[in-house]
Amino acid sequence: MDFRLSDEQQAFAQAARDFALGELAPNAAHWDAENIFPRATFARAGELGFCAIYAPESIGGLGLPRLDATLVFEEMAAVDPSTTAFLTIHNMATWMIGSWASQPVRDTWGPLLAAGEKLASYCLTEPGSGSDAASLTTRAEKHGGAYVLNGAKAFISGAGDTDVLVVMARTGGPGASGVSAFVVPANTPGIAYGRKEEKMGWNSQPTRPIVFENAEVPAENLLGREGEGFKFAMKGLDGGRINIGICSVGAAQGAYDAARRYMIERKQFGRQLADFQALQFKLVDMLTHIVASRQMVRLAASKLDENDPDSSSYCAMAKRLATDLCFQVCLEGQQIHGGYGYLKDYPLERLVRDTRVHQILEGTNEIMRVIVARQLLDKGADIR
């Protein structure tokens, strides 16, 4: 088993690192403090292919493996997890449109999304259906050559500031088999956006509820066929769990790097902090958790790229492990900084705030355990 990255992958990661240092590092704290959604930065990311990393080449995407996408997202999240996390959501929605939209919809939206000129949101969660996503109640009724949407979504990243929505709505009976997916222009009449949520972190991306009241979209805006929406949503979430896991890895790497520098520069009791064995051990444990999480996420990404039948379990395990361990790494990095780690002058407090939600979104870590347990016990999967 070869864990080394190819020369091409290393060059791709370096390009992402350069982008992060040039575009994100000088601005991340300002965007966080002022709640700024940096559209111009996403457009520049699109110029490098970072808005459609694994989307099909037919719409202008790079068509690369999920493993390669983790390299980009990790480098960016080491500087700015919030902005990077939205970029992962946009990538997921762009991939879904490029993979399953009708040709007219693909032609209309695909190239613009791939270039970062237009941005997309993913709309699955509802006020009454979070972990139990299959119980969603937003409906899409077909009338002639159009579908009419009624219902509400909650916690939608980018809502109110993006250009198109990938919406899961019920076209049939109860349960997963009654759910379909639609491409909905964000300015469609009948769509109303609620107030921007005030959040603990992720402040460079807006989060709003959405209400659909007789919002009409052409029938050609259906993704795939009726009843396939939940399948598409779960495929999206498998990749989303890898994405958010690697965002945690990146943030933890950023916290580790900052803590290591601080230990070398800071002196107490006439000695560098790096001379104290207790802090040396803490730093080693941080790095060990980062390396373990990174390899778990990359393994899950490889399983997804290979269409492994157990890939969903690997994605769930990787998301659970990485978001738990790497949030702890960020906390430890903040602790090493002492009182300075609590100040906004240093990146640690932002890294802590931005990674906290990773244990909740894309399915809570408790639900990750449920997914894996069902594979092991109900389906008898032999995961090794």
Active-site positions read 362
- Hunting for tokens 């520069």 — which residue is that? 265
What is the Cα–Cα distance from 383 to 311, expressed in whole angstroms? 10
Sign of the dihedral defined by the CA atoms of residues 251, 131, 120, 94, in that order: positive
**Pick from 64, 79, 53: which is nearest to 6 by CA?**
64
Record the tokens describing residue 32, joined without a space: 């966080």
**∠ CA 90-193-51, rounded to 5°:** 10
**Pick from 32, 12, 39: which is nearest to 80 by CA?**
32
Record the tokens describing residue 184, joined without a space: 């909905």
Q: Helices 229-265 and 348-356 sit at what angle, rounded to 10 degrees?
A: 160
What is the Cα–Cα distance from 289 to 267, expressed in whole angstroms? 26
Which H helix or E strand runs over 120? Answer: strand 120-123
